[in-house]
Chain A
Amino acid sequence: MNICGYIPESINEGAGLRAVLFISGCKHACPGCFNPASWDFQAGERFTEEMAGRIIGDVKTNSLLDGITLCGGDPFFSAEECAEFLIKFKARCPDKNVWAYTGFTFEALVKRPELKQLALLCDVIVDGKFIAAEKDVSLPFRGSRNQRLVDVRESVRQGRVVEIEL
């Protein structure tokens, strides 16, 4: 798996201050995508063990951070590697939360076991393709009105999509 970006602190990809990891590779090809260069699975550099360890260490020591966000690309096209990373992350940073961005809908994610595993490791998933016609710059943390901020735990508990309240 390659990553094509890492921001140690950001306010733009989820509530609170977050470290953001851009996972290379996406097949949704939404027209008007903010970052088409990241569709290529070979973009950026290989995500090594060493790099993963360093990023987890960074997040752990930075007490300002609320958590980490997986962005892309779409991390769900690299679900297995991402899940592996998040398991390590959660073991070392039990107080930090996880957000992820995906072009799949939450309903689609939970139907496929290999994607569901990653989904359940997240606290919030920003789901759905970017639809240019639905674009709205006033929405926090997402680009178009169809996209949702899914509260993973609550959605699983209630068996339907529940959105977080900001």
Chain B
Amino acid sequence: MLQVMKRDGSLTEFDMSRIVRAVNKAFRAVKGSAEDDVSVRIGQQVTDRVAEAESLTVEYIQDCVIQALRESQYGEVADAYSQYRDARDLERIRRGELYKISSDVIGAANPDLLRENANLNGESFSGKMSRIGSEYAKWIANRFVLPSELYKAVKDGYVYVHDLDQYALGTTNCIFIPFDRLLAKGFNTGNGSVRPPQSIMTAMALVAIIFQSQQNSQFGGVSANKIDWDLAPYVGKSFRRHFRKGLLYLGETSGKAHEGSADGSLAHLLEDGELYIDNMSLKAAYPRTYAYAYEETVHETKQAAESLIHNLNTMSSRAGGQIPFTSLNYGMCTSTEGRLVTRALLDATIDGLGRGETPIFPQHIFQCKQGVNQAEGEPNYDLFLKAVECSSRRLYPNFVNVDASFNLPYYQPDDPDTIIATMGCRTRTISDRFGRNRLSGKGNLSFNTINLVRLGMESGIVFGKRTEPDLEGFFRQLDRYMNIAVEGLVHRFEIQAKQPAKASDFMMREGVWEGGDSLGPDDQVRELIKHGTLALGFIGLAECLKALTGKHHGEDEGSHRLGLEMISRMRRFCDEMSDKYNLNISLFATPAEGLSGKFTAVDQAEYGSIPGVTDKEYYTNSFHVPVYYKLSAFEKIKLEAPFHKLCNAGAISYVELDGNARMNTAAFKRIVQFALEEDIGYFSVNHPLDRCPSCHYEGIIGSACPGCGAGEQEVHFQRLRRVTGYLTGNYTERFNSAKQAEVRDRVKHL
């Protein structure tokens, strides 16, 4: 019997009567009545014809019908048949997922779809354009690329594949950029080559250009892991230039320069090597010139920092209106030049943008280390204090802990590339089983997140089915889904590894990813990207514990111990998988922006609203104590600290301040240093940052501005909040609904 393949791929038996009916319908449309004998004859002809075909599809049969009608001089009927077929095709497309993907975006039917990323204006034309592409790419990945077990685990709400739209393409996530190398040798953007900069102004301009060129090679964050060290040489170059110019115009002479100089131009007599800021004999010999050069250098560095920050907030160049996620780590370079860079970046951030607004980008991270910047008498302590001041006014910088027990072993004082840094959100990528135990030139490749809450509900006491949690069952299921998630990461790695160097363009061509410049355009990137990390993430430890035992880790010591046991087990699993697959697989305290409400929605649909578990619109971030649970900053830090060393792919802890932090930097500093002492790896303080556009008051604004008394109805207060580690402008406009709910529920710890 003849088999016909239908549009969905299934097979059905060939049935001539269906053709006869369809042709009759076309006759009725054209002539007003059916013509059975003609229809049967056409059916017969088509049957004869298709009998010879090797494989049979609906489309082919329809083509045959049209041909047979035309050959029998029923052209009009053929047209009617064809029109009917087109209309049916369109109807089918409308019902299909592909159509829905773009119609939802075009019609702005689903605000959460457009606000998945708080940093992208999804309601703009370009934002929608990229969203359509992204939704289509997800569809392809789900339907044709994901391993079937992973696809099922995702559909059932156990696992989330982040940046699924990039899965099939093999794009990689994020990177620490070796700015020192790129600036020293110059680079090519693809449209032209750029020479090494000769001043700090140019160097900072090129930093923005490098960020911009790099971010299109990847989908995630781009970070400078030691920008003070990277830029210090260019402060030196600026000083030399200003000094020579000063000497020329001021005509200052010294004993040394005077010897053998008759032409009045003395500048050439000084060697480059003598012209540096810390050269005190230079200062003594040319006091006026030195003072001029020094002031000009400080001024230029500050201006350069201001324009860098402006640039990073204005290049909405990625995928339709998204400003790339840029981060700057600094604070450890103690040279005069490096310190000037750090100071300038902080001062420029404190000053704010054009009208004094808080800059959203870049993310700033201050690298804290005892002996360098943590106490009175240490060389960069003044900069740490400035960082605290800046953070109390602008929410940035965050603080990363070089002394943490899990970071310090990597630190080598003679190599700034081993100072721990973060990607901004929290990603940490220092260790490498292939020996590159340093930061720049690599990054994270991808991550998958486990929904701990669902697992907790299945094995917990939450539904009253048992009085004790079934921990054995819980861990069995956890292992099962960790396995699926990690196999998914490895599967994705295989796709990424096969990509030719030319696909990531700037990143490989210019060796931003270390070694990329040694590859030909068509060479596969496997041997280079294996230095990157694959991360297994998790969300909702708090709700998971609540479902399992009735209490989360903020409420009960036993739950806290159980939480630590779970996360330790996940870490062990990652270490074992790293050996098994010979890849860098690490454990990640997932920053959950787009994800924060997705699992919750799936779980609510299945289990309904369970108090303390699924009754919010979001799940609590990673191992955090819930934002709605009232406890002191002291307790929150104590409770969360032990999780940090387990999460080797990165984690962050926050406390929420209630009050105007800028008025009390002593308290701010105390909290930060306490967190560092407690071995927290990455830390930040959230505090309300509202701004009145009419009087420029900044602090907490309720319904009326405390500065000028203007009311919410009269002026539009700017309200900044933090999401997944980055700031975002007016959160009520850009946050998705789950994140808005989370901000609403955040209790202050002070």
Contact = CB atoms under 8 A, between A and B. Distances in A.
The answer to whether A and B assemble together is yes
Contact of B666 (A9, A10, A15, A137): A15
A11 B706 CA distance: 18
B674 A11 contact: no
Contact of B706 (A10, A63, A65, A137): A137
Given A17-B750, A137-B707, A64 B674 contact: yes
B666 A16 contact: yes
Given A9-B750, A11-B657, A64-B670, A16 B664 contact: yes
Interface string B664-704: 10111011001000000000000000000000010100000
B633 A64 contact: yes
Interface in A1-40: 7-12, 15-18
A9 B697 contact: no
A17 B659 contact: no
A53 interface: no
A7 B632 CA distance: 10
Contact of B664 (A7, A12, A62, A64): A12
B749 interface: yes
Interface residues of A, number: 18
A57 interface: no
A8 B631 CA distance: 9
Contact of B670 (A7, A16, A137, A140): A16
Contacts of A63: 634, 674
Given A10-B750, A64-B634, A17 B671 contact: yes
A104 interface: no
A66 B632 CA distance: 14
B661 interface: yes
A85 interface: no
Nearest to B630: A8
Given A9-B634, A10-B750, A11-B659, A66 B697 contact: no
Contact of B634 (A11, A62, A66): A62
Contacts of B732: none
A17 B674 CA distance: 12
A140 B749 contact: no
Nearest to B705: A137
A84 to B, nearest CB: 26
Nearest to B687: A11
A15 to B, nearest CB: 5
A126 to B, nearest CB: 13
B661 A11 contact: yes
Contacts of B663: 11-12, 140-141
Say whether chain A's binding surface is mostly helix, strand, loop, or mixed: loop
A17 B670 contact: yes
B660 interface: yes
B670 A12 contact: no
Contacts of B674: 63-64
Nearest to A7: B750
A10 B749 CA distance: 9
A11 B750 contact: yes
A69 to B, nearest CB: 12
Contacts of B706: 137
Interface in B645-670: 657-661, 663-664, 666-668, 670
A30 B319 CA distance: 58
A9 to B, nearest CB: 4
A99 to B, nearest CB: 12
B350 to A, nearest CB: 16
Name the residue among B634, B707, B749 with the largest chain A CB count within 10 angstroms.
B634
A47 B53 CA distance: 95
Contact of B671 (A15, A64, A140, A141): A64
Contact of B632 (A9, A12, A141): A9
B632 A15 contact: no
B476 to A, nearest CB: 40
Name the residue among A9, A10, A63, A65 with the largest chain B CB count within 10 angstroms.
A9
Contacts of B699: 137
B697 A137 contact: yes
Nearest to B392: A11
Contacts of B667: 11, 15-18, 66
Interface in A83-99: none
B87 to A, nearest CB: 68
A140 B664 contact: yes
Name the residue among B634, B659, B664 with the largest chain A CB count within 10 angstroms.
B664
Contacts of A12: 658-660, 663-664
A135 B141 CA distance: 61
Nearest to A141: B663
A151 B675 CA distance: 30
Nearest to A166: B666
A10 B659 contact: yes
A140 B637 CA distance: 26
A140 to B, nearest CB: 4
Contacts of B658: 10-12
B593 to A, nearest CB: 28
Nearest to B660: A12
Contacts of B660: 11-12
Interface in B466-499: none
B749 A9 contact: yes
Contact of B633 (A9, A15, A18, A137): A9
A17 B750 CA distance: 8
Interface in B621-649: 632-634, 637
A141 B637 CA distance: 26
A57 B637 CA distance: 19
Contacts of A66: 666-667, 670
Interface string A70-109: 0000000000000000000000000000000000000000
A65 B659 CA distance: 16
Nearest to A58: B632
A145 to B, nearest CB: 15
B683 to A, nearest CB: 13
Contacts of A8: 632
B320 to A, nearest CB: 41
Nearest to B697: A137
Interface string B114-154: 00000000000000000000000000000000000000000
A110 B666 CA distance: 29
B750 A15 contact: no
A68 to B, nearest CB: 14
A54 B636 CA distance: 20
B658 to A, nearest CB: 8
Contacts of B670: 16-17, 64, 66
B385 to A, nearest CB: 13
A57 to B, nearest CB: 13
Contacts of A140: 663-664
Given A11-B667, A137-B697, 7 more contacts: A11-B658, A12-B660, A15-B666, A17-B633, A66-B666, A137-B707, A140-B663
| Closest 3 pairs between A and B when the two form their complex, measured CB to CB | A140-B663, A12-B659, A11-B664
10 contacts: A7-B750, A9-B634, A10-B659, A10-B750, A11-B664, A11-B667, A11-B668, A12-B664, A64-B674, A137-B706
Interface of B: 632-634, 637, 657-661, 663-664, 666-668, 670-671, 674, 697, 699, 706-707, 749-750
